[in-house]
Amino acid sequence: MKVFESSCTFEYPWANVSIANWRKYGSWNTQSTHVVAVDTLSRSVDPRTGILTRHLKLRTERLITCKQNAPRWLMKIVGGAEESYVREVSSVDPQQQTVTLRSMNLTGSNIISVQETVVYSPDPSSPKTKTRFQQDAQITAYGAFSKICGAIEDWSVERFGQNALKGRLGFESVLEMSSKAFRDMKLEEGGWRR
Amino acid sequence: MSSSLAPECSEKKERYDTCFIKWYSEKYLRGEGSTNECEGLFKEYKSCLDAALKQKGIHSMIEEARKTSPNNDNAKGLK
């Protein structure tokens, strides 16, 4: 098993980031070209999570479609599927101000498991204006030959890192565009009620 | 907004996504999010999407993941 970890701070308030999160893989992100589609499978406001309306958690299940080039040796092992699918279950906690996204690959899951967790929360240094992004992934290849597993894991960790960097750069432009679009909503300060 | 894996559903998806983003930013984050005003649009999008998922054989993969994955409602932090 290999572990990938990354974190950074976005110079936007949590509310803006949590809105932009739903647009992360749209046309405003020109970097993450490996994500070709994002579909919502189910979504619900959980009535069990709070008595007050503003404490209700939002649960969303999405299907993310990816298309990316892999080396020939790896394509042979995983069966050469052109498109791969990832299932993501996320939870928004408006009271704690967190967005937690957990995802796992559906394609090739008998050969490799990639489990990712992303959390967006207010940055402790300036919780009203900055948002912390924390990402970790556990990558495990299954198989009889540890050498091949190691090679698959190494390639996957490397690609995961490349995609994570693209994701961060792409999300910066989404945040900029999204903040322009929502500027008149005054989410920055008083508009957001805790 | 991102596209749908099924091009024939993209228009319905866009209508739903637009409704959702508006509800999320204007109501949900402001603590007025108990009603689900985008439900009708979601149903339209979902019936289109479900047909495509079945046709592409993805539906069963999702069902399987719902049963076996630790990545579901009971996962730590999602309660």
The predicted complex's ipTM stands at: 0.89
State yes or no: pLDDT of A32 exceeds 90. Answer: no
Q: To which H or E segment does residue B20 belong?
A: helix B10-26
Residue A12, pLDDT > 90, answer yes
Which pLDDT value is given to residue A23? 92
Lowest-confidence pick of A49-58, B10-19, B55-64: A49-58
Helices B39-55 + B10-26 axis angle, to 10: 140
Whether A52 has a pLDDT exceeding 90, the answer reads: no
Domains of chain A: 2-183 (3.30.530.20)
Tokens of A60: 């969303």
Question: At A68, is the secondary structure helix, strand, or coil?
Answer: coil
Residues recorded for chain A: 194
The predicted model gives A122-132 an average pLDDT of 96
Token readout for B12 is 């319905």
What pLDDT, on the 0 to 100 scale, is given for residue B77?
Answer: 39
**Minimal Cβ distance to A22: which of B6, B24, B45:** B24
Q: Residue B14's closest chain A neighbor by CA?
A: A39
- A87 interfacial to chain B (CB closer than 8 Å): yes
Cα three-residue angle A152-B68-A61, rounded to 5 degrees = 90
pTM: 0.87
Two tokens at A55? 């404490």
Mean pLDDT of A168-173: 92
| pLDDT at residue A80, as a whole number | 63
At residue A54, the pLDDT reads 62
Answer yes or no: do A58 and B31 touch at CB < 8 A.
Answer: no
Q: Binning pLDDT at 50, 70 and 90, where does residue A96 land? A: very high
Taking Cα atoms as reference points, which of B42, B17, B5 lies closest to residue A67?
B5
The alpha-carbon radius of gyration of chain B (Å, integer) is: 15
* pLDDT score for A112: 87
Q: Which of A36-40, A103-107, B69-73 has the weakest average pLDDT?
A: B69-73
* pLDDT attached to residue A146: 78
Give me the residues of A, 118-177, that contact B with CB < 8 A.
Answer: none
Residue A40 reports pLDDT greater than 50: yes
Q: Say yes or no: B76 contacts chain A, CB-CB below 8 A.
A: no
Work out the end-to-end distance of chain B between its first and last CA atoms, rounded to an integer number of angstroms: 28
Residue A26 tokens read as 């749209």
The arrangement of strands across the sheet holding A35-46 comes to A2-10, A131-141, A112-122, A98-105, A83-93, A57-67, A35-46
Which B residues, 39 through 68, put their C-beta within 8 Å of a C-beta on chain A? 42, 45, 49, 53, 58, 61-62, 65
The per-residue pLDDT for A47 is 66
Number of Cβ within 10 Å of residue A88's Cβ equals 18
List the beta bridge partners of residue A37: A65
Whether residue B31 and residue A37 make contact (CB cut-off 8 A), yes or no, is: no
pLDDT for the residue A42: 95
Mean pLDDT calculated for residue range A69-91: 81
Asked whether the predicted pLDDT for residue B60 surpasses 90, the reply is yes
Q: Tokens for B79?
A: 């309660």
> Average pLDDT, stretch A28-54?
81
Q: Tell me whether A100 touches chain B (CB under 8 Å).
A: yes
Q: What's the confidence (pLDDT) of residue A188?
A: 46
Hey, is the C-beta of B33 within 8 angstroms of any chain A C-beta?
yes
Nearest residue of chain B to residue A20 (CA atoms): B21
